[in-house]
Amino acid sequence: MDLIINEVNSLSEKIVPAQTQKLVDNILHAKHILVSGAGRSELMGRAFANRLVHLGLSVNVVGDITCPHTQENDLLLLISGSGETKKLLVEAQQAVDNHVKVAAITANSSSSLGKIADDILVIPAQSKKSKIMTSSQPMGALFEQASLLVCDSLVLNLMQKLGETNESMSARHADIE
């Protein structure tokens, strides 16, 4: 665990605060938020979507049967280490075609997704398609772990801006589970 914690800690100072703040602002100004990813990145996105619901925001995960039709001023947030996952590129292009803002959390700002996205938050960690190994962990583990922590830090920032507390968020937690 020490190795993993040290690797994640080494990333915290490399994440650009202005990128984080821009994503927070885009979330706050979105009429509706759609979250997507693939594999383990999708799981991190689902965890983030869950917390956004607890904050009282209008959120769905792309692909869920209850996901509504998009409208202008919606935000599609994609999490992809490589920025090259075909499914996410299709979703991003559909969003652009429908005048939906696209934000990406990625390790690769120059990726295909990075070129489509209006807003990018870079987590400079090894992804599963990285040619250079910068982590002792397999594939995209470091990116995925850092994504969860970055998303949790976004939640803390959003809590402050929205005046939310643990109690107010708990009141929105599912009661039929």
- Distance between CA atoms of 144 and 82, rounded to whole angstroms? 11
- CB-neighbour burial class of residue 165 (10 A; exposed 0-12, middle 13-18, buried 19+): exposed
Return the closest-CA partner of residue 147 out of 40, 34, 10, 69.
Answer: 40
Active-site entry in 7, 144, 167, 177: 144
Q: Is 144 among the catalytic positions?
A: yes
Contact 56, 98 (CB under 8 A): no
- Tokens representing residue 55 in the block: 């904050």
Question: What's the one-letter identity of residue 14?
Answer: K
Contact 80, 88 (CB under 8 A): yes
Write the DSSP symbol of residue 67.
Answer: P
Contact 18, 5 (CB under 8 A): no
Tokens 């700002």 locate to 109
- Tokens representing residue 61 in the block: 């995960």
Active site residues: 144
